[in-house]
A and B are shown apart, each in its own frame.
Chain A
Amino acid sequence: MSIEVSDISQYFGDQAALENVSLDIKEGEFFSLLGPSGCGKTTLLNIIAGFLYPTTGTVNINGNEVTDLPPYRRKIGMVFQNYALFPHLNVFDNVAYGLKVQKLPKKEIKERVHESLSLVKLEAFAKRMPQQLSGGQQQRVAMARALAIRPSVLLLDEPLSNLDAKLRKEMQTELRLLQQKIGITTVMVTHDQEEALSMSDRIGVLGEGRVKQIGEPLHIYRQPENRFVAEFIGQANLLEVTPADHPPEDDRYCYFHADHYQDEEGEPLKLKVLKENLDGPAEHCPLLMIRPERIHISDQASAEHANEVKTEIQHVNYQGNAIQLEVGMQGKGTFQVQVSDSVFVDPPEIGMLLYISWKNEDMIPLAGEESQNAPVYQESKK
């Protein structure tokens, strides 16, 4: 079933929690709402579930408007951050809870509970009480309970955030496989970018109550549309740039100055970007992004790459499989660089000279600040 969220705004008093949010979630899709705490993602999930009535806007499930329906008439399956298992009921009765509402015959309830429990591989635990289960098992019971009613959509509210790191990874895979097996439309709220990137078909990045970008994980990471998305997901070197004069014979490139980056003589860093990589004229591109892992390092200058900068190592953060370096230009300005552990035989030392370079296409132009830092609710109040 598809979910359409159109033009949802939610105010708490004067405070806007959500502003003109629209989403189009396709049938069978695993869609993640990703954002920092306080961005309104949980509010939006509660609106889809029916626990909150939006100030404006509508929610459609499978083409039918459900905005006015209470949660218990929406046929949604929901999994909560703390699982919300009924502590006075055993696993069987927890899973059977929603089936008893439908007044199904006892035999059918039994069959469907076992079917749900076998989906999450917990048939043997039917008689246990929730307190006797580990966090991962409770999480799976919560899934089984939500799926037992054969809901039209599945809503997950930070479902894995209470699990330890290793179990969380396992459950990510398990949950994703389960979702694909059933083919149920799923909306997951999470603040964990890795989780969103690895599990989702598409991600909606929310910030300050607005949709910042919607897209496939790869697209969101590689082609963020604005500063917010670039900084929230992964690490990013952001270079504020101003257009510079360019030699008239060179039509393929746009030339920029990054004034916050200077070499030992105080000359600003010069950048040239392929024209076809820019959305519009150079004047409309105030910001360029380079991901730390897209930067190449070398201990000597070479002419291989178009953009090469002489830097000095200022900080080394060893992470096991990768090394995170902070390198500074000799005037001012620093870059975050991430290289594989195998690059260095001996760990790099602070003060070492390093030539960093990147490809033209690895410079991603971002939209200006004013388009995303607009005053939060003045316009929609009109």
Chain B
Amino acid sequence: MRRFIKNQRNKGFYWLLLLPSILFLIGFLVIPFVLLADLSFRDVDAYMNTQDTYSFAQYAEVFSSSTNLKTVGITLIVAFITAILTLTLAYPAAYLLVYAKRSFVRTLLYIILITPLLTSMVVLSFAWIVILAQNGLINQILVSLNVIDEPLSMLWNMQTVIVAYIQVLLPFAVLPIATSLSDIDPSLTKASMSLGESRIRTFFRVILPLTIPGFIAGFIIVFSLAAGSYITPLLLGGRLLPLLPLNIYQQVIQMSNLPLAAALSFTLLAGVGIVVSFFVWMLNRWEARMNG
């Protein structure tokens, strides 16, 4: 009984510790979210002024326009491709990060990995402009070497946006994979080799399957961030690319159609939510299998 009372008191104390962050989240996440949801069901007049009346008009607009639907699809596909490519590149990096023999090499690699996270997305994207622009670094070098006569147009397309996404999002994929790699008991590799399996095949039969949780976690993070990013495509791809975040940005800044922007935002959220839920479900299934 005493114990029970003590536990109750402890619980109260934990809630007290959480209170500031909970209040912050209610004030700056939950309330804006509700307001946004409210906004998405409002009507607009001919001058895009938000009305007091409610309807499904904005969602009807989103789902009746084939352009909008195509944009939703392309956004999700681009995020998917980005996530797959990022994870492929992240895996060897994570492997090196975990298995580098010398500890100062590991520390150095961690610093290199974290540095981009400390830099603003705008700065990172501008760096790409400096490199890829018509009079940028690559074009100048290629022209002066007489490889090409005319500067290549490397900006303002989807490929460049994906490359920039990969660069910006790579650390988010490396870290979860590195975490699950370092959780693997080194004697598993030894056990596999003592049973006659070579190092490479051991990787595919033991190491790779055991990093699936890190892989899925990395996928979820990179996919969500890529699907929702607008600064990178805006600076490198231009506002005409069929990406939902750019579309939302346009509706807010140029068309001032706030209810439509809100409806588009919720569409994006739902799309990402469906894909992410699927992967969370896979992760849970994997864990359930491991624990029998």
Q: Which residues of A contact B (CB under 8 A)?
A: 49-51, 70-73, 75-78, 80-82, 84-88, 90, 97-98, 101-102, 128-129, 131-132, 145-146, 149, 155
Q: A71 near B188 (CB under 8 angstroms)?
A: no
Contact among A72, A84, A88 for B187, CB-based, below 8 A: A84
Nearest 5 pairs of A and B residues by beta carbon? A98-B195, A129-B292, A78-B194, A84-B191, A84-B187
Using a CB–CB cutoff of 8 Å, the interface residues on chain B facing chain A are 185, 187-188, 190-198, 201, 205-206, 209-210, 289-292
Q: Does B196 lie within 8 Å of A84, measured CB to CB?
A: no
For B194, give its contact among A71, A81, A131 (CB under 8 Å): A71
Q: How far is the CA of A133 from the CA of B144 in the complex (A)?
A: 68
- Give the shortest distance, in Å, between B49 (CB) and chain A (any CB): 58
> Are B194 and A77 interface neighbours, CB within 8 A?
yes
Give Cα A51 to B189, complex, Å. 10
Q: With the chains together, A179 CA to B263 CA distance in Å? A: 71
Complex contact A72–B290 (CB within 8 A): no
Given contacts A129-B291, A132-B292, contact A84 B195 (CB under 8 A): no
User: Given A78-B191, A84-B185, does the pair A102, B210 have CB atoms closer than 8 Å?
Assistant: no
Q: How far is the CA of A73 from the CA of B194 in the complex (A)?
A: 8
Measured between beta carbons, the chain A residues less than 8 angstroms from B206 are 86, 88
Q: How far is the CB of A51 from chain B (nearest CB, A)?
A: 6
Selected A-B contacts with CB under 8 Å, 25 pairs:
A49-B190, A51-B190, A70-B198, A71-B194, A72-B196, A72-B197, A72-B198, A73-B196, A77-B194, A78-B194, A82-B187, A84-B185, A85-B191, A87-B290, A88-B206, A97-B192, A97-B195, A97-B205, A98-B196, A101-B195, A101-B196, A101-B197, A102-B196, A131-B292, A145-B195
What is the distance, in angstroms, from A139's C-beta to the closest C-beta of chain B?
Answer: 13
In the complex the two chains form, is B193's CB within 8 Å of A72's CB? yes
The interface centre, meaning the residue of B190, B191, B198, B290 with most chain A CB atoms within 10 A of its CB, is B191
Complex contacts, B196 vs chain A, CB 8 Å: 72-73, 75, 98, 101-102, 149
- Alpha-carbon distance between A73 and B196 when the two chains are bound, in angstroms: 6
- Nearest-neighbor residue (CB-CB) of B197 within chain A: A101
- Minimal beta-carbon separation of A154 from chain B (angstroms): 10
How long is the Cα–Cα vector from A51 to B290 in the complex, in angstroms? 28
How far does the Cβ of B138 sit from chain A's closest Cβ, in whole Å? 44
The residues of B that contact A101 with a CB separation of less than 8 Å are 195-197, 201
* Alpha-carbon distance between A158 and B206 when the two chains are bound, in angstroms: 23
Output the nearest chain B residue to A78 by Cβ-Cβ distance: B194
Note all chain B residues with C-beta closer than 8 A to A71: 190, 193-194
B289: min CB distance to chain A, Å: 8
* Seed contacts A97-B192, A128-B292; 5 additional CB < 8 Å A-B pairs: A72-B193, A85-B191, A86-B206, A87-B210, A149-B196
Check if B290 sits within 8 Å of A131, measured CB to CB.
Answer: yes
CB distance from A382 to the nearest CB of B (A): 30
Contact yes or no, A84 B190, CB < 8 A: yes
Q: Hey, which chain A residues are within 8 Å of B195, CB to CB?
A: 72, 97-98, 101, 145-146, 149
Minimum Cβ distance to chain A for residue B185 (Å): 6
Find the residue from A71, A73, A76, A131 having the highest chain B CB count within 10 A.
Answer: A71
**Chain B min CB distance to A11 (Å):** 17
How far apart sit A77 and B206, CA to CA, in the bound complex (Å)? 18
B188 to chain A minimum Cβ distance, whole angstroms, is 5
User: Is the CB–CB distance between A88 and B194 below 8 Å?
Assistant: no
A51 — which chain B residues lie within 8 A by C-beta? 190, 193
A82-B185, A84-B185, A87-B210 as given contacts; A72 in contact with B194, CB under 8 Å: yes
